[in-house]
Amino acid sequence: MFFILIIFISILFNSCKINYSLSGASYSPDVLTFNVLNFENKAPIVYPPLANMLTESLKDKIISQTKLKLSNNNPDLIFEGYITDYNITPSAITGNNTVNLNRLSVSVYVKVLNTKNSSLSFDKTFSHYIDFDPSKDFISIENQLNKEIIEKITNDIFNVTFLNW
């Protein structure tokens, strides 16, 4: 009886059609490779390193959180897109019309093509922002602020793609 139970359990687990990782990512076992095409920066205001930061951050996230391999030759998943908006606006104004906080906002249009299952392909715009003290020299903190925003956007892209959020 114990032997039959072991066989049943092994058949059950071997018949699963989804790969899982420790990050919780799930994807079909026939999806083995991915590619992230270079993101373009089409925002009215351009922070030059931003597109490359996004491209590399997404590659690193997928490599570190899945078993997928980066490939330029017929990848199973293709990520592409562009930065649509990059702006700084006041986010908190006091009664005497002085700015207490500024907000850096970034929006990115992303298209994911799943060549194995087109129903899992999608396109979506992801946006995040971070507030900062306007008394600080923006040039000296801009890179760090962008790293934080790109990390949030990368996590959102990953979650929608691999965690079905």
38-59, pLDDT tens digit by residue? 999 999 999 999 999 999 999 9
Q: What is d(CA 46, CA 40) in angstroms, rounded to the nearest whole number?
A: 10
Q: pTM for this structure?
A: 0.83
Residue for token pair 């194995």: 116
The mean per-residue pLDDT over the stretch 121-148 comes to 96
